[in-house]
Amino acid sequence: MSERKQIYLCLAHMSEDGAEQRYVKEAFDSNWVVPMGPNVNAFENDLKAFVNHGDNEVLQKEVVALSAGTAAVHLALLACGVGPGDEVIVQSFTFCASSHPITYLGATPVFVDSEPDTWNIDPELMETAIRDRIAKTGRKPKAIVPVALYGMPYQIDRIMEIANRYEIPVVEDAAEGFGSRFNGQVLGTFGKYGVLSFNGNKMITTSGGGALICENQDDANKVMWYATQARDAYPYYEHTAVGYNYRMSNICAGIGRGQMTVLNDHLAHHKHVQKLYEELLADVKGVTMHKQPADPRYDANFWLCAATLDPDVRIQGQENAYKEVIKSAVGGAAGVIRAVESATTSCQPNENVEALRVFMLDKKVECRPVWKPMHKQPVYKNAPAYVNGVSEALFKVGFCLPAGPYVTDDDVRYIVDCIKEAIV
């Protein structure tokens, strides 16, 4: 019997016809090995065609390809006028790339907790935060950053209604939600700007890369100017602002062009895997899949399939949870983490969730905790936070299951069997 393969949460999957290699070869053959070029232009056009096509109308958004989704958040906030002393409302239940760029600009993140249906920013709590920040500082927040956690659409109708009433621009962080829709419209096209990510574990990949959806050509030109070192139109290098080297490379864009040919297949696959998990785990006591709301307007891409584990479920090896300090990174970051002295923190997943992660790892299955809320991160201990307990409670019980294009139906069945085996 051959050794079982390692099953990761989500890995890039190349097109069957090798389109990625073809476009990359064209870049080398034509010597366009720079952060601009034909592949970049073509990839942006492909992205525009995708995001502008909705079920109800055709939009006229522009797209700028960038070096990372984090760069897209940074430039979107910069274009919104965020600067030192400003405040930006951001979802707390997210990856750090949603909030770190706020601090790059000398501004302060104001964290807002989640609502229990989508696990995304709570619109009512968001409005409470807006009112309170105005009362405390005399100024309204400079921007709002909702996040499509694991690809789940946020309550964008309510978010936009509140944001428009207070005249605050919305930067949609759809890095995990590429291809997710709300009422037939692609996430990232509702607000002033929309962030996309093409990291190696996203719905499609450019190896590393991202993009920013802009409302119009003027906004796109402004973003592109900042992304190419903010150079003014002289025959020599003249700068009236600080810019960044954030443009996507022509090589990476070639990969992206090939990936666009399999995007719809990837979206269908992730939704299929989610449905299979829901069916196979339906009768497993104590394990609950995170599902999208019954409202037909919600159409999640299920980038990752998330679930919760009841606190009273006992897992094999649970007595050893958090007994030893982690020596290597979890989730592909090996070699870039800092050693710690303690195996525990003041806010961490329950012992049975950690035991399940370890048990599944031994079965060659990656089973990762959900994001730790940003308002519980030591680096943000002094940041304003408006909390209701939802994200902290979910962090204690939540975990993610593999969903990428390499995950087969047999893999899902194996993963579910392993979960059943893990439960005492």
Q: For residue 8, is it within any domain?
A: no
List the CATH number of the domain containing 39.
Answer: 3.40.640.10
Q: Which residue has the higher pLDDT, 57 or 397?
A: 397
**pLDDT value of residue 1:** 43
List the CATH number of the domain containing 361.
Answer: 3.90.1150.10
Which residue, of 262, 288, 317, is where some domain finishes? 262
Q: Which residue has the higher pLDDT, 56 or 39?
A: 39
Which residue segment(s) compose the domain that 202 sits in?
19-262
Task: Give the number of other CB atoms < 10 A from CB of residue 285.
Answer: 9
Can you state the percent helix, strand and coil of the chain, rounding each to 5?
35, 15, 45
pLDDT tens digits along 345-393: 999 999 999 999 999 999 999 999 999 999 999 999 999 999 999 999 9
Tell me the torsion sign for CA atoms 62, 66, 70, 75: negative
**pLDDT value of residue 331:** 59
Spatial contact of 109 and 102, defined as CB atoms under 8 Å apart = yes
pLDDT tens digits along 148-169: 999 999 999 999 999 999 999 9
Alpha-carbon distance 170 to 60, whole Å?
18
Q: Are residues 325 and 355 in the same domain?
A: yes
Task: Give the number of other CB atoms < 10 A from CB of residue 286.
Answer: 16
pLDDT tens digits along 212-268: 999 999 999 999 999 999 999 999 999 999 999 999 999 999 999 999 999 999 999
Which residue, of 246, 262, 278, is where some domain finishes? 262
Q: For residue 378, is it within any domain?
A: yes
C-alpha distances in angstroms, 268 versus 109, 231, 401, 411?
A: 35, 42, 17, 17
Assign residue 335 a region (left: φ > 0; alpha: ψ between -120 and 50; beta: otherwise): left
Q: Are residues 210 and 302 in the same domain?
A: no
Q: For residue 271, is it within any domain?
A: yes
pLDDT tens digits along 6-26: 999 988 888 988 999 999 999
Q: Are residues 238 and 283 in the same domain?
A: no
Find the range with the poorest average confidence among 52-56, 116-120, 143-147. 52-56
Q: Are residues 241 and 282 in the same domain?
A: no
Q: Are residues 314 and 254 in the same domain?
A: no
Please say if the pLDDT value at position 206 is more than 90.
yes
What's the rounded mean pLDDT across residues 85-98? 98
Nearest CA to 13 out of 267, 197, 359 is that of 267
Q: Are residues 66 and 189 in the same domain?
A: yes
Q: For residue 143, is it within any domain?
A: yes
Q: For residue 10, is it within any domain?
A: no
Percent of the chain topping pLDDT 90: 90
Please measure the distance between the N-terminal and C-terminal CA atoms of the chain and give it in whole angstroms: 27
Q: Are residues 306 and 382 in the same domain?
A: yes
Q: Which helix (H) or strand (E) holds 144?
A: strand 143-145
Q: Are residues 329 and 185 in the same domain?
A: no
333 confidence band (pLDDT: 50, 70, 90): low
337 confidence band (pLDDT: 50, 70, 90): confident
Q: For residue 3, is it within any domain?
A: no
Q: How many domains does the chain have?
A: 2
Q: Are residues 94 and 205 in the same domain?
A: yes
Q: Are residues 143 and 272 in the same domain?
A: no
Q: If you search the block for the tokens 């501004």, which residue do you land on?
A: 107
Structure tokens at 112: 């807002």
**pLDDT value of residue 56:** 77
Which residue, of 211, 241, 262, is where some domain finishes? 262
Q: Which residues lie closer than 8 Å to 160 by C-beta, 6 or more apart?
A: 170, 190, 191
Q: Are residues 231 and 369 in the same domain?
A: no
Strands 171-173 and 398-401: unpaired
Q: Are residues 40 and 189 in the same domain?
A: yes
Alpha-carbon distance 257 to 342, whole Å?
45
117 confidence band (pLDDT: 50, 70, 90): very high
Q: For residue 148, is it within any domain?
A: yes
Q: For residue 13, is it within any domain?
A: no
- Average pLDDT over the chain, rounded to an integer: 95
181 confidence band (pLDDT: 50, 70, 90): very high
**pLDDT value of residue 2:** 59
Percent of the chain topping pLDDT 70: 97
State the alpha helices, DSSP H only, in 228-321: 250-260, 263-281
